[in-house]
Amino acid sequence: MRFMVNLPPGSTGVDFEVPTVRDQVAEPAESIRRALADRDAELLPGRPVLTGTVLDQP
């Protein structure tokens, strides 16, 4: 999945949501990784990689 987030100059963070699809299947926790890239989708070297966990809703 590819999505764009705009970080205005001087900002130190931004909130974003990752869309998920609700289903009836019980699943273990899943992980997501996002890396910063330029407008041509080339990864920016030396930049942090964002990680998170996706859980089923109770």
2: confidence class by pLDDT, cuts 50, 70, 90: low
Q: What is the mean pLDDT of the chain?
A: 81
Distance CA 56, CA 20 (A): 10
In tens, the pLDDT along 8-25 reads 888 887 777 777 777 888
Per DSSP, what are the bridge partners of residue 43? 37
Q: What residue spans of the chain are helical by DSSP H?
A: none
Q: In percent, how much of the chain has pLDDT > 90?
A: 2
